[in-house]
Structures are given as structure tokens and as C-alpha cells.
Structure 1
Amino acid sequence: MQKIDESILSEVIQKRPINSYKGNYGRILIIAGSKQFGGAALMSTRAAVNAGAGLVTVATVPEKFTALNVDIPEAMTIDYNNSKDLKEAVLKNNVIVIGPGLGTTENTTDLINILIKNVDKQVIIMDASALTVVSEQNIDLNLFENIILTPHQGEWQRLSGLKIPDQTQENNLKKINSLAPNSLLIVKKHLSEIYYQNKVYQLISGNPGMATGGMGDTLTGIIAAFVGQFDYSLKTVSAALYLHSYIADKIYKKDYVVLPTKLASKIPQTMQKFACSKK
């Protein structure tokens, strides 16, 4: 098992070339939010924009458009209930997040099925409600060629059938290899773990102040932005995971709780620090 430490940030985060435009840094589609859980879409989107994604589109309910457009004007919005617009967005974007704040209704199942029918080489990041629906509906994850799964331990229990005390590294590796051997799995917990192609990486940062709503949504947005900019790899996802906890640890030195909004606001300056640290 390999430990993920600070060195991964300088390895992955690149200084931007002078001749840059937004299309160089990823086209991200975030399918998230609902009338009850609109905040998840905002936090995931804010993190993706602040982590450098070139173009971010949020597919959500129209009731949340104003909040998104006011709070994160850099992002575009579409109605995920408009199947034509959603299909077009799926085809145009190279990284697709699905799950934060969607809820576990039949509508989420329909959204996952739209992805199954329209995704080709895009990287899918499946989080939160989408993971619960996959476990409830026994959806075959192998239908996606490039997929990142981001469950916390309870979601992983539902997906894998492994009770939390039984979620050892050996058991997790066996289970993900039987469920979806081509996927990249992040089991979110204290000292989170990544499982990918028989490799196991472990995070060695993080703190109790991160135990607050929206922290996972923020991580998902960072992962999407990193994959969009720096390509899909174990190293890229490891860097996204580490950056999330690295910033949180800095905040926790002064703050009792690490608010996701505060964490997201510090992403650009932190990335610049590591981009400029290269000789």
C-alpha cells in the first residue's frame, strides 16, 4: 500500500502555458441537485470552477438556476429533465459527475440510464445518490469504460455488501475487482483509500473538522476539475484527494469546523503555490 503525501501535488499540478484557452482545461458536466438538496450542486460546481476546470455545465432543476447563476456565474446551467439538452451535454463534455443531491427517486435512475446510452470515452464520477441507486437497482458498473466511484463507508456497504467492520483493504480490493475491475474506487473515511487496478493508495491527511455536510460534494468537484485538466489517472485522482485534505488541514488549525465554501475559496491560491514550486 502506498501513502499519498504532499509531493503528489507538485507532480500533478502544472503551470499553465502562456498560450492557453478554456478548452484546454476540461469540459465538465455536473448532474446534481434537486428541490430539496440544491446545495450539493452548488458546492460541487464551486469546487470544480475554483480548481481550474475550463468549462463547467450544471444539469439541475430550474428552481436552482438563479442560485447557481448568482453564486457561481462562471458555470452554465441546463435542466436535466430536458432529455434532449442533457444528451447533447453528455456528448459535449469529457468529464461527467452524477449524484450530488439528486435523491434516490426514479428520476435518478433515468439520468443514469441516459448516461449508459450516450457515454463513450468520457470519465464518469459517480457519487452520493447515484451510488445508492446503482446498489438498489443492481446497475452494472461495467457498462462504463472510465468510472470513478466515491462512496463513503455507508454507501460502499450498500454497494459492496461489506459491513463497515469488514471493509479491510483485502476485502475492498476483492469486492471492487468483482463489481467493476476497471473502475477507480475511493472509500471516503478517516485516512481515505483509493483502489485501482490492484493498487491501494492511502491518504495520510485529514481532520475531524471535515465532518460536515458538503465536504464530499466539494471533493467530487475537485476530482472532476483535475481529471479535466490533467487527464484520468491514479496519480491525478490522488492529487485531487490530497489537495482537498491539505487545504482542510490548514483551515482546521484555526477553525473548529472546515466549511466546504471556505475550502473551495482557497483552492486557486493553493494550486498556484504548487504550480510555481517547480524549478
Structure 2
Amino acid sequence: MRYLPTGEWMQKADRYTIQEIGIPSMVLMERAALKTVNIMERKQVNLDKTLVVCGSGNNGGDGFAIARLLKEKGYEVTVSFIGREASMSEDCRQQLKIAEKCGVSIVTSIKREEYTSVVDAVFGVGLNRDIAGTYRENIEKMNHLPGQKVAVDIPSGICSATGKVLGTAFSADLTVTFACEKLGCILYPGHVYAGESVVADIGISRKIFEKDSSVCYTFDETDLPKLLPVRKPDSHKGTYGKVLMITGSSGMAGAAYLSAKAAYITGAGLVQIYTAKENRGILQQLLPEAIISTYTEYDVENLHRLLGWADVVCIGCGLGRTDISEKLVIETVKSTKTPCVVDADALYVLGRHMELLKGQEWPFVLTPHMKEMTGLLGCAVQELQEKRFEKIRTFTEQYGVVCALKDARTLVSKMHRQIFVNIAGNSSLAKAGSGDVLAGVIAGLMAQGLDCYEAAVCGVYLHACGGDEAREAKCSYSTLAEDLITGIGTCIKKTEEKMAK
């Protein structure tokens, strides 16, 4: 697990490290500079003629120290100080004096020369206003200079909390970030401006991130063995749960098939699909492992019988927006006595009957994409994009649900839990059927005993890793949802092999 703090949280971590642990700020700054130089060399950045552009804060202090170390190594280096001398931090002023005494060339303007690299140390993680005036002009000059571009901690102009461009921003090929990747360099468009991000451990304590639910986190491949439910040698299909898929209206057998197969490929023991009668034949051919039950009209007694059979319910994939589907969703949400995944068309119905979620005894996982989420919230897409963290927290607290908000950076939220931010996956997931697969994966994990939040987090990450496997096999253009299921199986196989070692 890796934390993804905002600038505000990194400043708290800095203060804790300096004041409570006792590591002086200048020691942290020297470590930051040394690690940055080492990483630039390791990444083969051409440092023969380097321009380091410094601001007035501690990010600028890092820059002065980097310039000094580069000069000590024999590189030709120039510092352009574009900050305000009167507002320099104490450590930045000290590093400027040291650099001057070590013979570093320091100027106060940016001239167009043939630099081999440009290092951005203008603004750090604390920037929270739009860049304007001379600062804006200078950052745009930096972007137009020749040479490889390196950002220190975060590209200047990127909001550390949202990834938003604050007026203008430095466009880096490489960002050397300290202690943790910053949330703003994970979210778009900040992720694009950061280029390749490399984390440098300089001794800043992460302890204060552990207990606060407002700090986000993510996973990498080494976490998967700890996330997947354990398979027992003495087991049978009942051990791994029964999933009821209320999916697939007439002509939408594909959604039912994809979600059910995904639940099976993830490890569920038994899957039953409740679908429109017209889908029976094709589903029996496509997925003979599944039980197929059908309807031609709304049958509340049969629905209750099926709900009583299930350990987990998944409703909505390809369900349609008919009178029958609306009745199925309303009755399922009201009557289920098991955990339930709500996706796609079921979310549309739920958006018109949000009162159904209040006071529910059984947990629900909602898996909306951005447009579907606006239907649940009653807001515009742009407003949701700008305030997604605030809105998803408020929503999950109000209704007591788990919400997986699907986007290029999917978020998973639950009351009193830290928000998971998914950074795996790729554009091959932007294809019809991908959401059906995710709903099935989460339901399959829940059937094996994971609680709703853990299943949603694991499911989102596993789904994305499956997308990476599918792209490797097919390329991002040609991957289909069924290839994604195959990719998930490959990912689980690799994980199981690691667990066996």
C-alpha cells in the first residue's frame, strides 16, 4: 500500500518529522537534493549544461542544493532565482548563501540557451493559487527551453490535491517526488505534467497518514497476494458463495454473460443469472457453468425465492429501463438480505428512489461512472469532476454505502475508511462491457467472504490489472471486455504462483 497525500498532508508530515522526531529541516533538504541528483543520473538525464530555476520557498532551497551538488560533480550549472528575496524561507536563504560560496552561477532571469536539462524548483506542494504575471511568463519560458525537464517534488503549477493546472504548469519528463507520490501527480491532468514519477525516501515520517481517513492510498502488484481471498484445500462450490445476477434485458445477453463470467473467473462457487426469457439460449451456450432463470413478466414471489438462495446479489448490468426492470430494482433493494452490487441501469432507477438506501441493514456497493454518479447526486459532471473527493465522501457517509466511482482514476469510498485511488489500468478499459466485468469481479470477491469495501477495492484494482494484461496480449485498441476477463484470470494466476513460493 502506498499513501497519496495532498500538499497539506505532506506539510503536516514535514512538521511532524522536524518537530516530533527531531530531524532538522536542512538535513531533509540535503537528502532531497542528493536523492534528486542521484535519480537524475540513474535515469540518464543529460546534466552537462543544467539550468535550475528556483523560487523563494523550500522547493527553491532544494533547487539551490541540487545546483551545488551538480557543480561539485563537475557539471556546468546555472541557477535562475525568479522568486522574491524578501519572502525567502530561512532554509532557502541559507542554501542560496552556500551555493554562492561554492561558486554556483546565480542569475535572476531566464535566457534562451542550449541547456541539456532544466530543473524546476519554483513552487512546491503548498501552491494553492493560480500562477500569473512574471511567474507565469518564466514557467512558460522554461517549458520552451531545449533539454530534458525535471520537476522537484511536484511540477510547479499543479495543484497537489486535485491535479488541476493553476493557470500554467511546468511540463516535466521526470518528477522526483519526496516520501510519497502526491495525489495531484496521480490525478489528471497533473499526471501528464509530471511525466515519470520517482519516489525518493528522504526520511519524512508517514506515521500521521495511518489514522486519518482523509488521506488517500493506492496499491501496486506486490499487494495483490494480500488482497485476494484464500482458497482452501478442503472446499466445495458452496465454500465460495452463490451469486445471483439480475442482469440482461431482452437483447442484452452480453452484459449478463460478461458479469457472470467475471464472477466465476474471480473465484465465485456458483452463479445464477436471472434474465429475460429471450436470453436463455445464448447464455446457456456462452456460459454453461451458470444456472439460468428467466422472466417474461414481473414475478415478486420468484424474485424473493431467488434472493433467498443467494449469498450475494448483483443487479443492473444490461437490465434496461423498462417497468419490469424498475420493479426488479426497487424490490431487490428493499428486500435483499445479502450484500448487493448495484450497477448500470439499476443505478438509474436508484437515482429516482434514493430513499431506498436509507436505513438498510445489508451493505450495498454502488459502481457508477461519472455520468451515473451525477444522477445519484443531482449535480453536473463538471461539478463532480472538480469536487469528486468531497462529494463521494459526503455521499457514502449519508447513505452508508460503498461507492466505486469509475473514471480514469477510479475512487472507492466508504464512511470512516480512507479513499482508495486506482492507478493501474489503461485506455483499453474504455470499452463497452468493461463496467459489467467490474461488477461481476466485485460480486465474485464478496461471495468468497470479502466485505463490501475490501471487495470493491480489490475488485477495482484486479480489474485494472486485468486490463494491463489484456493490453499486453491484444493492445489497447483491440482489447474487448472478454479479453479483459482473460487478463484478470492471467493476473490471478500470476498472483497465485507468487503466493505459492
TM-score norm. by structure 1 comes to 0.92
Separation in 2 of the partners of 1:98 and 1:85? 15
Match of residue 38 from structure 1: 253
Separation in 2 of the partners of 1:219 and 1:102? 16
Partner of 2:491, secondary structure, is helix
The 5 A counterparts of 1:93-242 are 93-120=310-337, 122-144=338-360, 145-167=362-384, 168=387, 169-178=389-398, 180=399, 182-198=400-416, 199-242=418-461
Separation in 2 of the partners of 1:207 and 1:266? 13
8 Å CA contact 1:125, 1:148 repeated in 2: yes
Amino acid at match of 2:471: Y
Match of residue 118 from structure 2: none
Partner of 1:102, secondary structure, is coil
Q: Note the C-alpha offset of 1:156.
A: 0.1
Q: Note the C-alpha offset of 1:224.
A: 0.5
Matched, 1:90 2:311: no
% identical equivalent positions: 29
Match of residue 272 from structure 1: 493
8 Å CA contact 1:13, 1:275 repeated in 2: no
Structure 1 regions of 5+ residues with no counterpart? none
Greater shift, 188-197 or 199-208, is seen at 199-208
1:83-142 CA distances to partner (integer Å, 9 max, x unpaired)? Answer: 33321110111110010111112212211232244322x111000001001112444212
RMSD: 1.7
Separation in 2 of the partners of 1:14 and 1:38? 29
TM-score norm. by structure 2 comes to 0.53
Partner of 1:35, secondary structure, is coil
1:206-235 CA distances to partner (integer Å, 9 max, x unpaired)? Answer: 211211110000110011101111321423
8 Å CA contact 1:14, 1:275 repeated in 2: no
Greater shift, 141-150 or 248-257, is seen at 248-257
Structure 2 regions of 5+ residues with no counterpart? 1-215
Partner of 2:233, secondary structure, is coil
Separation in 1 of the partners of 2:486 and 2:469? 13
Q: Note the C-alpha offset of 1:258.
A: 2.2
Change (3 A) 1:124 1:233: closer
Change (3 A) 1:54 1:27: same
Separation in 1 of the partners of 2:355 and 2:294? 24
Separation in 2 of the partners of 1:137 and 1:18? 44
Asked which structure has the greater CA Rg, the reply is: 2
8 Å CA contact 1:148, 1:183 repeated in 2: yes
Matched, 1:69 2:288: no
Change (3 A) 1:32 1:233: closer
Matched, 1:2 2:186: no
Amino acid at match of 1:192: T
Separation in 2 of the partners of 1:172 and 1:14? 27
Separation in 1 of the partners of 2:250 and 2:452? 34
8 Å CA contact 2:246, 2:273 repeated in 1: yes
1:245-273 CA distances to partner (integer Å, 9 max, x unpaired)? Answer: 11111222341232111111233342132
Change (3 A) 1:31 1:201: same
Q: Note the C-alpha offset of 1:40.
A: 0.8
8 Å CA contact 1:8, 1:239 repeated in 2: no
Instruction: Indicate which of 483, 490, 493 corresponds to 1:262.
Output: 483
